[in-house]
Amino acid sequence: MTAEQKREKVVLAYSGGLDTSVAIRWLQKKYDVDVIAVAINVGQPPSQDDIIARALRNGAVKAEYIDAKKEFVEEYIWPSLKANAMYQDVYPLSTAIARPLIVKKLIEVAHREGAKFIAHGCTAKGNDQVRFDVGIMSLDPEMKVIAPMREWVLTREKEIEYAKENNIEIIVKKESPFSVDENLWGRSCECGIIEDAWEEPPADAWGWTVAPHDAPDEAEYIEIGFEKGIPVSLDGKKMDGIKLITEVDKIARQHGVGRIDHVEDRLVGIKSRETYECPAATVLIAAHRSMEFMTLQKDVTSMKKRMEQRFSELAYEGLWFGLLRESISAFVDKTQENVTGTVRVKLYKGSIMVVGRKSPYSLYDEGLATYAEGDIYDHNAAVGFIYCWGLPNKTASRVHRKR
Ligand code: ARG
């Protein structure tokens, strides 16, 4: 390259942590490129310093901060909630569904800046590398990916050494024994003692929630209002999505709700033991499901259950931006037209229970259900129904018994 030729640009998914701080220099050195650092806020706790200024001090030619919380809620969390999305029935996919959004933001910056490369700090053992790489190729098939931490396997000590040698300004926090990822929808924790699947997660593996035995002795009740499958109010007060999730999260944390301990199947063939804290997701998914049971017919609930499982797998497996996930979301949206009403939830020492629900579109009819006065059910109809319903079995039984 001659001096007049512009250097290639790389857009780096930057968190301000050790890995991505070191990656700025590593990319410049190894590929002789300009690095544009992009920090994306999906609701993780704020950093202790101005990470944007630090990225520039560490050699980025540009550094950008993008607040994507609103988009995260509206385009990723709500579609997942409407699908009651839980990977392997237990993990609300908090980390997984933030990845496609981060990818989308990186692509937007890359296009605006004329960058042909995107870099991320994922390692070779996780799901996130797949979500980043496949997300990127799904949105821009020409975009090239660089994954420094996959190419350059380093221990933490080596990384700190490299930072010192290269005058990279890093914030060396007290070394956490865990690898943690946080956003509005939950907190993921892995590594350290958690890797022993028989060991109970130690107290310090939990970062958000009060231990259930330390939670208040008094139960707390909250009311969540839904409109077309989306939570819109808490205790009768209308609020936007970010606020609602934050408020529900705060209450649920105090009651020790949302702790999950799971041995999960990663995409790369590894089983891994992880813990999650998803207080808001746990409460909202339970409430949403109960609103659905009140407003959807049995055949819809049953078909939807299958779609939900597939949706969860696709989200987990990095196929968010794909026709199947999008089509399932279209199906799910159709089912939500009447998922409107209020759910009353009781939180108590780590447990959550739906204890009441009401809806203008409730399909629950007390007149049909009651065993008391006011019964409108046609008791005689049951006999004819049972005759037809049981007829195939009766016929088969006659034939086989004869044999
Ligand atoms: N296993 C989870 C997932 O694949 C969470 C991974 C989060 N990363 C972390 N460093 N804890 O979605």
In order, the DSSP letters of 17-46 are SHHHHHHHHHHHHHH--EEEEEEEESSPPP
Determine whether 204 is an active site residue: no
Determine if ligand 1 sits within 6 Å of the CB of residue 308: no
Question: At residue 306, does pLDDT exceed 90?
Answer: yes
Least confident interval from 61-75, 147-161, 238-252, 313-327: 147-161
Which one of 21, 80, 128, 249 is the catalytic residue?
128
pLDDT of residue 153: 81
Atom 8 (ligand 1) nearest CA: 181
Question: At residue 25, does pLDDT exceed 70?
Answer: yes
pLDDT of residue 6: 82
Determine if ligand 1 sits within 6 Å of the CB of residue 20: no
Determine whether 329 is an active site residue: no
pLDDT of residue 403: 75
- Output the CA 315–ligand 1 centroid distance in Å: 13
Distance from C-alpha of 28 to C-alpha of 382, rounded to nearest angstrom: 76
Look at residues 337, 339, 310 and name the one whose alpha carbon lies nearest to residue 326.
310
Percent of the chain's residues with pLDDT above 70: 99
pLDDT of residue 349: 98
> Closest ligand 1 atom, CA of 180?
11
Determine if ligand 1 sits within 6 Å of the CB of residue 295: no
Atom 4 (ligand 1) nearest CA: 127
- Output the CA 111–ligand 1 centroid distance in Å: 28
Strands 117-119 and 62-67: unpaired
pLDDT of residue 27: 95
pLDDT of residue 20: 94
225: left (phi over 0), alpha (psi -120 to 50) or beta: beta
Q: What is the mean pLDDT of the chain?
A: 95
**Helix boundaries (H) for 296-378:** 298-316, 323-335, 366-369
Question: At residue 364, does pLDDT exceed 80?
Answer: yes
> Closest ligand 1 atom, CA of 276?
5
Question: At residue 166, does pLDDT exceed 90?
Answer: yes
> Closest ligand 1 atom, CA of 190?
11
Question: At residue 202, does pLDDT exceed 70?
Answer: yes
Average pLDDT over residues 119-140: 96
> Closest ligand 1 atom, CA of 126?
4
**Domains in the chain: boundaries:** 9-165, 180-296+339-358, 372-402
Q: How confident is the model at residue 48 (pLDDT cuts 50, 70, 90)?
A: confident
- Output the CA 82–ligand 1 centroid distance in Å: 22
Contact 39, 15 (CB under 8 A): yes
**Helix boundaries (H) for 85-215:** 94-113, 128-139, 148-151, 156-165
Determine if ligand 1 sits within 6 Å of the CB of residue 123: no
Q: Find the helix packing angle between 94-113 and 128-139, rounded to 10°.
A: 40
pLDDT of residue 247: 98
Q: How confident is the model at residue 156 (pLDDT cuts 50, 70, 90)?
A: confident
Look at residues 129, 144, 122 and name the one whose alpha carbon lies nearest to residue 17.
122
Determine if ligand 1 sits within 6 Å of the CB of residue 96: yes
> In sequence order, what DSSP letters do the residues of 114-134 get, joined into one string?
T--EEE----TTSSHHHHHHH
pLDDT of residue 325: 98
> Closest ligand 1 atom, CA of 266?
4
- Quick check: do 9-165 and 180-296+339-358 share a fold? no
Determine if ligand 1 sits within 6 Å of the CB of residue 301: no
Determine if ligand 1 sits within 6 Å of the CB of residue 129: no
Burial of 388 (0-12, 13-18, 19+ CB in 10 A): exposed
Question: What count of other Cβ atoms lies within 10 Å of the Cβ of residue 70?
Answer: 11
Percent of the chain's residues with pLDDT above 90: 91
Average pLDDT over residues 76-84: 98
Which one of 99, 187, 289, 325 is the catalytic residue?
99
Determine whether 273 is an active site residue: no
The tens digit of pLDDT for each residue in 370-399 reads 999 999 999 999 999 999 999 999 999 999
Task: Write the CATH number of the domain with boundaries 180-296+339-358.
Answer: 3.90.1260.10
CATH architecture of 9-165: 3-Layer(aba) Sandwich (3.40)
Contact 231, 244 (CB under 8 A): yes
Q: Which pTM value belongs to this model? A: 0.96
Length of the chain: 403
